Structure 1
């Protein structure tokens, strides 16, 4: 008589001689291929219940060629461990680990569901109504590309997604996901709307003035952009029916940076000054008083800034008695915007500001703006010591 398979829902750690009939709905590899590599997967049974499974390097050498996404299997013998890591792919209390005695046999099985997406409502993320550490799926239309940076050491892009409830959510993706996104923008400049589906995304809780956001996980995420998949096509149809306005022009690297290794400027004044207060240098110094600070110990690189007027976005850390510069801009409109936020900006005197053309470093343009003497970056501060 055929043995009745165990059900994923009943796995409670009491036995390890499990007999499962499953479909692998998600599969990814972590580490360096053929060296320090392990496979991770999500398996689903005929009831639609899911569990996370790990096949480490020693066992992966045996089973790697047999493990395939969307295929069905009969599997026996696992080590059952607690699903208590920092990030969880499934909400099951336990997860499975392959052992030396695990048996995997691919076979044709009917009645096993395909991947079930766990789309999260943007409003729930913003309101903090989510389980911390549980990975989710997101889908939305790109509303604005805020920033990107690509170098030999780091790659990231920040953009805003809009869902079908017209709610905006920040999305930050890194490394190869970032390159995939930027390359798509370059190849489809005039395409609209651009719909993004990101699986196994991490939710980053809001901190202080920074709202919650979502981003890719290290290897578990998959990024689909305007692909011919049912979920994207249905989203696009509902988007049209609801009449949600979609921006036709995106700020991508073709507009903000001519080279892949560059960074875009912020896409708007509102993005630059959002969640920020305007303060004078003396006010910041009062927040972060430090009697041991030597203002004469300035790096040589700061000499190049003497005589320039810039707008800085600064994170003040009174606990550590220091401040960190998050953004810097030489745009006259942004500088005026920051000045307008200062309470005493009306009593002002005229100074000349030398603006550096970002496309031609050798070319300078003289501009005149209004600024109070209290805000002059050269008044009251010691100059860099004479060399």
Structure 2
């Protein structure tokens, strides 16, 4: 489904702040994952800015089918709050909050980058120059994996796996 939306009513990621409620924005969904008690999404706007979004568990059934990776959507009637997540995956200080009244509309028109990769050189990572980046993308091969470790951290169990990667160059 495609709709016509007045682009003057749409905000960009860097316009978003908690001072206003009920925002409207066009974005591409570049990542989505479900943590059971909440769903997390990474959005990128046409200017290339990224922001994290969160959906509480009771609203996941409402929105899960409407939000697919790589889809372009117009989000309407959502809120913005501080991103207080322990492990942030984007630099933006705020986070999109979905409400029961939030509307997700699929659209086709997209003028921005597709994936929003943040590639870093192996040397930058090894020398600690990528430590300030919350997440980075690398091209390489996984050469070994450690065991899956579990940690009981209420309200959920946390799992961790260490692995070694090799530069393809």
TM over 0.5: yes
**Distance across 1 between alignment mates of 2:68 and 2:125:** 32
Q: Does the CA contact (< 8 Å) of 2:23 and 2:77 recur in 1?
A: yes
Indicate the residue corresponding to 2:31 in structure 1.
26
Indicate the residue corresponding to 2:164 in structure 1.
160
RMSD between aligned residues: 2.9
CA gap of 1:84–1:45, structure 2 versus 1, over 3 A, is same
Indicate the residue corresponding to 1:83 in structure 2.
83
Alignment of 1:213-292 (within 5 A): 239=169
Q: Could you tell me the TM-score, scaled by structure 1's length?
A: 0.36
Structure 1 unmatched runs, 5+:
32-36, 165-238, 240-387
Report the Cα offset of residue 130 of structure 1: 3.0
Indicate the residue corresponding to 2:60 in structure 1.
60
Q: Does 1:8 align with 2:34?
A: no
Q: Does 1:128 align with 2:128?
A: yes
CA gap of 1:159–1:87, structure 2 versus 1, over 3 A, is closer
Indicate the residue corresponding to 1:137 in structure 2.
137
Q: Could you tell me the TM-score, scaled by structure 2's length?
A: 0.77
CA gap of 1:66–1:150, structure 2 versus 1, over 3 A, is closer
**Distance across 2 between alignment mates of 1:134 and 1:156:** 17
Partner secondary structure for residue 63 of structure 1: helix
Q: Does the CA contact (< 8 Å) of 1:20 and 1:76 recur in 2?
A: yes
**Distance across 1 between alignment mates of 2:133 and 2:26:** 28
Structure 2 unmatched runs, 5+:
152-158
Give the greater-gyration-radius structure (CA).
1
**Distance across 1 between alignment mates of 2:86 and 2:133:** 6
Report the Cα offset of residue 141 of structure 1: 3.4
Partner secondary structure for residue 65 of structure 1: helix
**Distance across 2 between alignment mates of 1:92 and 1:119:** 18
Q: Does the CA contact (< 8 Å) of 1:87 and 1:133 recur in 2?
A: no
Higher strand share: 2
Structure having greater relative contact order (Cα 8 Å, sep ≥ 6): 2
Indicate the residue corresponding to 2:96 in structure 1.
96
Number of residue equivalences: 157
**Distance across 2 between alignment mates of 1:20 and 1:157:** 36
Query: What do residues 1-59 of structure 1 show as CA deviations (whole Å, max 9, x unaligned)?
Result: 9252111111132212211111111111112xxxxx42211111111211111111222
Report the Cα offset of residue 129 of structure 1: 2.1
Q: Does the CA contact (< 8 Å) of 1:26 and 1:115 recur in 2?
A: no
Alignment of 1:106-117 (within 5 A): 106-117=106-117
Partner secondary structure for residue 21 of structure 2: coil
Indicate the residue corresponding to 1:340 in structure 2.
none
Q: Does the CA contact (< 8 Å) of 2:23 and 2:79 recur in 1?
A: no
**Distance across 2 between alignment mates of 1:12 and 1:161:** 38
